[in-house]
Chains A and B, each alone.
Chain A
Amino acid sequence: MKINGILFLLLVFLLSACGGRKQNSQQQTQAPVSAEKSAEMANHPGKKVYASFCLACHMADGSGVPGMHPPLIQTEWVTGDKERLINITLKGMSGKIEVNGETYNSIMPPHSHLSDKQIADVLTYVRKSFGNNASEVMIEEVQKVRNK
């Protein structure tokens, strides 16, 4: 009986070793954050500006394109410092940045051709959509950064 038990164990071990797999996977970035529809933003004037100038790359839900265009969802780049955000919109951006744990290294063109009102509207829209809930961007704030 005892020897049977040992043999049985050996058999189990042999079979599992034969079919066993080692897991060796690299940790990937977090799952995308789902966009929340915000009813009050549906008629916001910034939505139209977003559709014309931002949506093609950043998508209707602000989720961006993996490896190409960064998401606008729950990231300091959008909900944080307004001056930095206004500057990116006016002057564009290039070089390596990290957003939500993922590295991006592409180019965003400048949007200085938009009016101060359009920029204030669209930045308010992105700061209050896609599950974001940051403060509004005022026309005067855009003016101030543009004139710096």
Chain B
Amino acid sequence: MKHLFVLFLVFAAFACNQQEKSAVEKIMADTDNGGITLPEGFSALVVADEIGRGRHIAVNENGDIYVSLRNHDQNKGIACLRDTTGDGRADIVEYTGEHTGTGIKLHKGYLYFGSDTAVVRYPMQPGELLPANNWEMIARGFPTERQHEAKPMEFDGQGNMYVTVGAPANACMEQMRTKGSPGMDPCPILEYAGGIWKFKDDVLNQDQLTDGERYATGIRHAVANSWNKKVNELYVVQHGRDQLSQFFPEMFDDKQNAELPAEEFFLVTEGADFGWPYCYYDPFQEKKVLAPEYGGDGEMVERCENKMDPIMAFPGHIAPNDLLFYTGNMFPEKYRNGAFIAFHGSWNRAPEPQSGYFVVFVPFDGAYPSSDWEIFADGFAGMETINSTRDAEYRPCGLAQGPDGSLYVVDSNKGKIWRIMYS
């Protein structure tokens, strides 16, 4: 009997040790997939439940996870998570840094972080979960904004960094979001916002307007951005304008307002102009039309004719907040080089029911989608009909690919993190 116990003990100790060594094989999904629904063959586990208002997420080669937080009472806006037991669940959660914000990416041995007014980087320390605190300023001088202030960044692998500078406006009206106020023409915001700015990825203290270069314009706000390494191009997904029926009830009813305009998926080439604030994309007419603030009637095109069209249109107001081109080997062939997009979920479809709150997949062939988008992960909101945004229990906001090809999703309400796997 005694021997049996000793044997069992040795076995248990051995099993425990093995678990740490070959973590990937030991990771078990949750029986309910953490409350979300996925296509057949996929499963998910909850990595962490409540780490704070998560925005974007990065996963290191050793599996350590970094999440940017929208706010933190001591400004420690980087949540750092580590799994030390090999079950895929974070058992260490620490907070560090001196910034809060959205952009977060591991690049060249640093953790780049986009606060709402600057891009900084924290040096990573080999073997350590926490980055060092002696951060450096990379890009500064961004406008202080109270809407569309998130500054996500992306890298092209050729020494450049692209930062979204969202427009602090709905449609560049003279009086902000006020019925009857005309659009400013030309819109002065476009000089410093409403586009993508390009910087060097390792030069310190670059000023947005003197050192940065406006790479593309006419983008109202794009929290979702990703460099597609397969075709070497930048892609972003735009948050389209709001409140058509509120400001122009004679032209649009609430149902039309819920569907117009589309959320647009852009292939961003250098110098491209996507039309904001003068134009928006009507997915039913399949074209850019002139915004009513600039004399449009819902059908007129005029100056919008030569603005760049989206490569895909999504339902209105569903708020694309992250984009990821899948390059892993874990998921089936169909998903390789395709795009995952996290839709944060709408508010401006009210009084119609809200929509979004899911992760979609867009299959790609080369630079363009090869077929229509499909919902990949759903059920984050925890209910079928969402009338008010606050009713949604979770809102997917950030995406990352793990070293084994798992897809991570972070929520912005409580900071829940799912790891989606395929077997």
- A interface, CB within 8 angstroms of B: 3-4, 7-8, 10-11, 14-15, 17-22, 24-26, 28, 32, 51-53, 55-57, 59-61, 63-69, 71, 94-95, 103, 105-107, 109-110, 113
Contacts and interface: CB of A to CB of B under 8 A. Distances in A.
Contacts of B414: 28
A4 B347 contact: no
B311 interface: no
A24 B81 CA distance: 10
Given A24-B92, A56-B350, A59-B388, A3 B2 contact: yes
Given A14-B13, A56-B350, A63 B176 contact: no
Interface stretch (B3-11, B37-45, B267-275, B364-372): B3-11
B351 interface: yes
B143 to A, nearest CB: 13
A57 B390 CA distance: 12
Contacts of A63: 388-391
Given A26-B51, A113-B180, A65 B347 contact: yes
Counting contact residues on chain B (CB < 8 A from A), the size range is 35 or more
A109 B395 CA distance: 27
A26 B413 CA distance: 12
Contact of A4 (B5, B94, B351): B5
Nearest to A14: B12
A80 B52 CA distance: 30
B146 A61 contact: no
Contacts of A57: 347
Given A26-B50, A60-B388, 20 more contacts: A4-B2, A11-B9, A14-B13, A18-B19, A21-B85, A21-B91, A24-B92, A25-B49, A26-B51, A28-B53, A28-B413, A56-B243, A60-B350, A64-B390, A65-B390, A66-B395, A69-B347, A106-B146, A109-B177, A113-B179
Contact of A19 (B49, B51, B85, B351): B85
A65 B413 CA distance: 11
A20 B85 contact: yes
6 contacts: A7-B6, A18-B16, A32-B391, A65-B390, A66-B395, A107-B146
Contacts, number: 123
Interface in B58-78: 70-72
B92 A94 contact: no
Contacts of A15: 12, 16
A70 to B, nearest CB: 11
A14 B16 contact: yes
A107 B243 CA distance: 15
B350 A55 contact: yes
Contacts of B387: 59-61
B89 interface: yes
Contact of B389 (A11, A28, A59): A59
User: Which 7 residue pairs are nearest across A and B when measured between Cβ atoms?
Assistant: A18-B16, A59-B388, A25-B50, A24-B93, A63-B390, A26-B52, A65-B347
B232 interface: no
B388 A25 contact: no
Nearest to A66: B390
Contacts of B412: 66-67
Contacts of A56: 242-243, 246, 347-348, 350
Nearest to A27: B50
Contacts of B242: 56
A22 B8 CA distance: 26
B133 interface: no
Interface string B387-422: 111110001000000000000000011110000000
Contact of B175 (A4, A7, A52, A109): A109
Nearest to A108: B177
Contact of A25 (B1, B48, B147, B243): B48
